[in-house]
């Protein structure tokens, strides 16, 4: 797909974010109507699922939207082939299959069109512009568990800014995930990169290593994806790198869903390219400010439309609209639905322990895992020069989770490299 398409798309996104709420909502609904109309007409899997949405004359009964069934990861694992049309409308380009093994459950494969991929890439460019990132600087990402990126050494992966922009001269470098943190720091220093990229917990590990060596490494930003950035991770990065974490929320299935905004300090949903709903167990929207399941409908991936797909994450949408943009606010992520703790008496909890507890207890990194129905394990790395105080966590578990839980402790030299190990809360019972 040529650069002029991406360029027009990015210009379009920079325009639509500034529309009035009414104009924005109308356009979002038009785009949603286009993809559900296509799915209903062209894809057998969706014919009956979406039937309640279509009146006899073919018009859409939007009132029925919240009653449409939620598409689960299991649906995707079992029926992915049936969710794909026999042909794409013109202009969507060729397609690419992404597999995601996930940390729990069955692996799924999603087919993504070139066009949808470019849309997601342009959302990322827009997010980078919100944060005034400098595309002439270099980026090092600590990434790659398999394939060529997992080979030892530093790999130059090409430019990371929009190629049509004259200032996009910086390169993205990657270094395999198996590389020890100390070597990643050395490589970043040698390459004189402006930015480090990784999951929040991997960046936090790099920050902890830098501080442990009594050093600092001045950077312009820490670029991060996926899991929620935590207060202690942000603090560690400020101390080690003198820079802020700039985060996005993305998935292989749905592309870039939201990105941090330097103007208001919130995270905006890319609602011009994806419908993000936060719903209860019945699929009905929960009020802003309350935790619910994140359900997404990407608006441009006609190669495999995902209509009301349960992303497996819990989140909260903001109560207030930002004055400077029509894009809604994703107040916070609240963990994975698989990370809910389940107590013996049948209660299901979304654990939420204040970030300040880690600092008080003297932990550089910490994770709470429920290991059986009555026990949680606190895994931690002590902060440099501090003695870890178990009592602080024992009290926090009693106060914020349940006083009946047994608490045990495990000091770990480094929290594991798997994505699941980087969660704040892990349900393993």
Give Dmax over CA atoms of the chain in angstroms. Answer: 71
**Closest residue by Cα to residue 348 from 395, 280, 288:** 280
Distance CA 329, CA 331 (A): 6
Q: Which is nearer to Zn ion, 198 or 247 (CB)?
A: 247
Taking the complex as a whole, the smallest distance from the CB of residue 197 to Zn ion amounts, in Å, to 22
DSSP notation for 231-257: HHHHHHHHHHHS--EEEEEEETTTEEE
Does position 321 bind Zn ion by CB under 5 A? no
List, in sequence order, every beta strand (DSSP E) within 191-308. 195-198, 221-225, 245-251, 255-260, 267-269, 274-279, 292-298
Q: Which is nearer to Zn ion, 199 or 267 (CB)?
A: 267
Q: Which stretch binds Zn ion (CB under 5 A): 17-25, 88-96, 230-238, 254-262?
A: 254-262
From 211-219, 226-234, 246-254, 261-269, give the range in contact with Zn ion by CB under 5 A: 261-269
CB of 263 to Zn ion, least distance (A): 4
Told to check if 322 binds Zn ion by CB under 5 A, we report yes
- Segment lying near Zn ion (by CB under 5 A), choices 35-43, 184-192, 253-261, 332-340: 253-261
Give the integer Cα–Cα distance in Å for 289 and 277.
Answer: 13
Q: Is 146 helix (H, G, I), strand (E, B) or coil?
A: coil
Closest C-alpha among 140, 248, 156 to residue 194 = 140
The answer to the question of residue 262 lying near Zn ion (CB under 5 A) is no
Give yes or no for a contact between 71 and 310, defined as CB atoms under 8 angstroms apart.
Answer: yes
If binding is defined by CB under 5 A, does position 263 make contact with Zn ion?
yes
Residue of the chain from 60, 70, 77, 264 that contacts Zn ion (CB under 5 A): 264
The nearest distance, CB 264 to Zn ion, in angstroms, is 3
What is the spatial distance between Cα 97 and Cα 302, in angstroms, rounded to a whole number? 13
Q: Whose Cβ is closer to Zn ion: residue 84's or residue 267's?
A: 267
Residue 129 touching Zn ion (CB under 5 A):
no
Q: Which stretch binds Zn ion (CB under 5 A): 45-53, 161-169, 256-264, 388-396?
A: 256-264
Assess 261 for contact with Zn ion (CB under 5 A): yes
Question: Of 131 and 171, which CB lies nearer to Zn ion in the complex structure?
Answer: 131
Partner residues linked to 342 by β-bridges = 348
Q: Give least dist CB 235 to Zn ion, A.
A: 22
| Contacts to Zn ion by CB under 5 A | 261, 263-264, 322
């Amino acid at each position: 797909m040529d650069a002029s398409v991406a360029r027009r798309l990015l210009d379009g996104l920079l325009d639509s974010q500034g529309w009035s709420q009414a104009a924005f909502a109308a356009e979002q609904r038009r785009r949603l109507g286009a993809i559900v109309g296509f799915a209903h007409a062209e894809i057998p899997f969706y014919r009956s699922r979406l039937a309640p949405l279509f009146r006899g004359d073919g018009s859409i009964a939007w009132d029925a939207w919240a009653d449409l069934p939620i598409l689960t990861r299991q649906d995707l694992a079992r029926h992915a082939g049936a969710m794909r049309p026999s042909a794409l409308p013109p202009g969507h380009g060729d397609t690419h299959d992404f597999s995601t093994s996930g940390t729990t459950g069955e692996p799924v494969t999603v087919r993504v069109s070139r066009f949808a991929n470019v849309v997601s890439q342009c959302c990322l460019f827009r997010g980078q512009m919100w944060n005034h990132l400098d595309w002439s600087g270099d980026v090092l990402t600590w990434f790659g568990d398999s394939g060529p990126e997992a080979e030892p050494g530093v790999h130059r992966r090409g430019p990371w800014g929009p190629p049509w922009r004259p200032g996009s001269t910086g390169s993205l470098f990657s270094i395999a995930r198996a590389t020890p943190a100390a070597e990643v720091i050395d490589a970043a220093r040698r390459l004189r990169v402006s930015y480090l990229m990784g999951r929040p917990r991997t960046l936090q590990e790099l920050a902890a290593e830098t501080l442990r060596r009594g050093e600092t490494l001045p950077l312009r930003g820490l670029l991060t994806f996926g899991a929620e950035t935590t207060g202690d991770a942000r603090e560690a990065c400020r101390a080690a790198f003198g820079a802020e974490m700039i985060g996005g929320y993305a998935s292989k299935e749905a592309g870039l869903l939201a990105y941090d905004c330097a103007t208001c300090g919130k995270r905006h949903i890319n609602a011009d390219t994806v419908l993000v709903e936060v719903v209860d167990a019945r699929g009905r929207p929960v009020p802003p400010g309350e935790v619910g399941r994140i359900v997404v409908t990407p608006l441009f991936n006609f190669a495999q439309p995902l209509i009301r797909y349960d992303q497996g994450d819990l989140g909260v949408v903001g109560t207030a609209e930002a004055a400077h943009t029509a894009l809604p606010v994703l107040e916070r992520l609240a963990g994975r639905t698989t990370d809910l703790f389940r107590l013996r008496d049948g209660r299901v909890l979304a654990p939420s322990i204040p970030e300040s507890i880690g600092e008080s207890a003297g932990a550089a990194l910490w994770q709470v895992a429920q290991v059986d129905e009555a026990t949680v394990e606190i895994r931690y790395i002590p902060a440099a020069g501090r003695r870890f105080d178990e009592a602080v966590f024992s009290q926090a578990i009693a106060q914020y989770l349940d006083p009946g839980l047994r608490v045990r402790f495990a000091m770990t030299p480094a929290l594991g490299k798997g994505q699941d190990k980087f969660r704040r809360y892990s349900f393993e019972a």
